[in-house]
Amino acid sequence: MVKAQTGGAGGPALPIDDAEAIRALIVEFHFLVDHGRAGEAAFIFAPDARLVFGPGTPNPGTISGYDDIAAWLKVREAAPVITRHLLGPTRFDVRSADEVATTTLLTLFKAPGSDNPNVPAALADLEEVFVRTADGWRELVREVRPVAWA
């Protein structure tokens, strides 16, 4: 069991299998995006999901609903840019047996579009909410909150 990291020592626990399933979705999303296969990442999202790019990102705004997110991922797949998302530790906030919020530290390298592709293009907090569905854990909300963006 992974203890919730908010709510104190008596907070709800998350079974290790659930924590690993959620971590695997976070990693798989970034692997697919970084390897030119962003269109394949749509399966991660719930039907009523939201993808939010916060203030300070190059194109702030919200994409809502599975179909619109899947279409955006297809466009992203065709973009002439190389990225590598380096993920830091993931913090879990267990809201219920069927809903878990996470925060992951994100460092982004990008070329072209960065003066020096060897220097991070962005540092951000990746705030996500995952819900348990009949198909397993799915992402309900993904919000990119920049700390610094080049």
CATH number of the domain enclosing 28: 3.10.450.50
User: What domain count does the chain have?
Assistant: 1
Q: Which residues of the chain have pLDDT under 70?
A: 1-11, 113-115, 117
pTM above 0.75, yes or no: yes
Q: Where are the alpha helices (DSSP H) in 66-141?
A: 66-78
**In the prediction, which pLDDT does 114 show?**
65
**In the prediction, which pLDDT does 112 show?**
76
CA-to-CA distance for 110 and 64, rounded, in angstroms? 25
Q: Which domain holds residue 65?
A: 2-149
> Using alpha carbons only, how large is the chain's radius of gyration in Å?
15
